[in-house]
């Protein structure tokens, strides 16, 4: 099968290798660019727990001054793996969505033991900070990366894509979906996707792309990408 991946290369490279090893033809079209963002100096000893809502939040945080036994809450398996690689030992992982992450925090973190540090990108799908505050948790948020949309694509890539459209495309966020939709419209690709299966991380992501005619739309959690190959 022909598979199109839309994440930045650092996030996509393991899947590219995996899918190619399985004999698939893989194209890479990064539709967003991740940029590190500086933030105010933080005294990490002030916090009893830390929350990551993406793998990029872990990647762009200098963790050398953080107690690795701190309660560490991650939105999904990819974020959990990044946290474990950074040395965090007391890690709790949700199933890839912030609603589930909130419930895990409430079940496993006693608000009386201290504050939570919430590390995220600039754009969030759900205001976890506000929701936890409403549950009487003390939460402080830092933003350590931003997302830019990619809107200029090599014309040769577009022409090749028109000739061999993918059987599957993976889209991981609302930002990515919005960027992809802009690219589709800009390069007049709206009518090319009727034989392509759209794989989206969550319903909010897929809703952005509903105006395009896809063969089928599937929702998935991080780590299920290979499993989805056997559903079509």
The predicted model gives 155-166 an average pLDDT of 97
Enter the DSSP assignment of 79.
H
pLDDT at 125: 73
Look-up: residue for tokens 């940029």? 35
Please check whether residue 128 is in contact with residue 109, taking contact to mean a CB–CB distance below 8 angstroms.
no
Distances (CA, A) of 151 to 71, 125, 161, 202: 39, 22, 16, 23
The CA dihedral of 107, 113, 117, 123, to the nearest 10 degrees, is: 30
The predicted model gives 180-198 an average pLDDT of 97
pTM exceeding the 0.75 threshold for the entire prediction? yes
Q: What is the pLDDT of residues 62-118, one digit of tens each?
A: 999 999 999 999 998 889 999 999 999 999 999 878 889 999 999 999 999 999 999
Which residues, in sequence order, are CB contacts of 158 under 8 Å at separation 6+? 187, 189
pLDDT at 77: 85
Tokens of 154: 């090599």
Domains observed in the chain: 2-31+150-231 (3.40.50.10090), 35-147 (3.40.50.10090)
């Amino acid at each position: 099968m022909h598979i199109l991946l839309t994440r930045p290369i650092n996030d996509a490279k393991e899947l590219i290798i995996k899918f190619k090893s399985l004999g698939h033809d893989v194209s890479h079209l990064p539709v967003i660019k991740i940029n590190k963002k500086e933030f105010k100096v933080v005294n990490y000893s002030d916090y009893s727990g830390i929350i990551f809502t993406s793998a990029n939040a872990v990647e762009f945080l200098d963790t050398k001054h953080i107690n690795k036994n701190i309660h560490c809450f991650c939105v999904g398996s990819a974020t959990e793996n990044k946290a474990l690689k950074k040395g965090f030992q007391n890690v709790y992982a949700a199933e890839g969505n912030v609603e589930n992450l909130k419930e895990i925090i409430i079940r496993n973190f006693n608000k009386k033991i201290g504050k939570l540090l919430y590390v995220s990108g600039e754009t969030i799908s759900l205001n976890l900070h506000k929701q936890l505050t409403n549950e009487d948790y003390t939460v402080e948020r830092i933003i350590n990366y931003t997302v830019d949309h990619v809107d200029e694509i090599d014309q040769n890539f577009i022409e090749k894509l028109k000739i061999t459209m993918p059987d599957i495309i993976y889209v991981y966020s609302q930002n990515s979906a919005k960027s992809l939709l802009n690219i589709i419209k800009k390069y007049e690709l709206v009518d090319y996707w009727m034989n392509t299966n759209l794989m989206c991380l969550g319903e909010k992501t897929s809703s952005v792309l509903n105006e395009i005619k896809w063969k089928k739309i599937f929702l998935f959690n991080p780590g299920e990408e290979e499993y989805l190959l056997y559903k079509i």
